Amino acid sequence: MKRAKALTIAGSDSGGGAGIQADLKTFQELKVFGMSAITAVTAQNTLGVHGVYPMSLEAIEQQLDAIGLDMGTEAVKTGMLFNSEIIELVVSKVKQYGWQQVVVDPVMIAKGGSALLQQEAVFAMKKYLLPVATVITPNIPEAEELTGLNIKSLAERKLAAEALFELGAKNVIIKGGHDTDDNLTDLLFDGKGFVELYSKRIFTENTHGTGCTFAAAIAACLAKGQTMEEAFQIAKEFVYCAIQKDLHIGSGHGPTNHWAYQEQQNRTVRS
Ligand SMILES: Nc1ncnc2c1ncn2[C@@H]1O[C@H](COP(=O)(O)OP(=O)(O)OP(=O)(O)O)[C@@H](O)[C@H]1O
Ligand SMILES: Cc1ncc(CO)c(N)n1
């Protein structure tokens, strides 16, 4: 049996809700074979980030070569890249192996406020990573940081999406989790037009890793050959189910439920 493959290049979250762990769980649930290259190890739980240990460039390069030289991948998802050297290495490997379908989640700050990307690396992200991105998936503060724009309204978000497209990303999705509204809008711009997806805000503390899960779902769908719009819709539904059927693990911001989407699909098929 042939399965599509996806590679996540990201940080490890010991708590299992975000980073590499969220990505691999999402790939598995969407029936894609998951592979990983770890850029940093974090000591994290639902209370916050307690330690960040970046991997050496050599260790990251070897992981990427191990996959590039033997296994190949139909899609790549990047998450926590931590510094500009790691960003430049990842971009050179994406080009060397001709990897297509590159989903860039420009992870900068964890929900508790810890820095997962050094400030000086924002420049490298804009100059080198965006031009190889099939799609970039910032939340609102990340879109503000990358564009220098203030985003209060949907109209301003559209301007930011256009600015990120101009920087080289072929598609831009600005997520609405940080919207002040109780109706969340996620916005896709493909250089020609906008697609808006809406949902109600779910009131829960357990939203750790929503951004990673969302971007990993996009990568899984693109790996299987689905269109950007299909991937966008499935990722939104996947993360909505994962937040709605939360697991209540830990005493802080808990992880989402990566099983929920498939469990809902199975119920729909049976009834
Ligand atoms: N409380 C919520 N209720 C419903 N959907 C939500 C909620 N919070 C986030 N989402 C959805 O989750 C997805 C991720 O959005 P969000 O803006 O939270 O990403 P993020 O800030 O990058 O996440 P992370 O905390 O992992 O960095 C989007 O599709 C968003 O609409
Ligand atoms: C390793 C890692 N990547 C990304 C995030 C953002 O959710 C996080 N908290 N930890």
CATH number, position 198 = 3.40.1190.20
DSSP type of residue 139: -
Taking the centre of ligand 2 as the mean of its atom positions, its distance from the CA of residue 208, in whole angstroms, is: 8
d(Cα 32, Cα 74) in Å, to the nearest integer?
10
Phi-psi sector, 132: left (phi>0), alpha (psi -120 to 50), beta: alpha
Per the domain annotation, does 163 fall within a domain?
yes
Per the domain annotation, does 266 fall within a domain?
no
CA-80 nearest atom, ligand 2? 3
Query: Ligand 2, atom 7: nearest CA belongs to which residue?
Result: 209
Per the domain annotation, does 249 fall within a domain?
yes
pTM of the model: 0.97
Per the domain annotation, does 264 fall within a domain?
no
Our count of domains for the chain comes to 1
Pocket around ligand 2 at a 6 A CB cut-off: 10-11, 13, 18-19, 42, 79-80, 107, 110, 116, 209, 211-212
202 CB within 6 A, ligand 1:
yes
Residues serving a catalytic function are 175, 207, 209-212
| Containing structural domain, residue 68 | 5-257
Per the domain annotation, does 263 fall within a domain?
no
Taking the centre of ligand 1 as the mean of its atom positions, its distance from the CA of residue 118, in whole angstroms, is: 22
> Which residues of the chain are modeled with pLDDT < 70?
269-271
Per the domain annotation, does 52 fall within a domain?
yes
Amino acid 20: pLDDT = 98
Per the domain annotation, does 267 fall within a domain?
no
Amino acid 270: pLDDT = 64
**Which runs of consecutive H residues, i.e. helices, occur in the chain?**
19-29, 57-70, 84-96, 121-124, 140-147, 154-166, 210-223, 228-244, 260-270
Amino acid 269: pLDDT = 66
CA distances from 156 to 144, 193, 199 (A): 10, 15, 20
Per the domain annotation, does 268 fall within a domain?
no
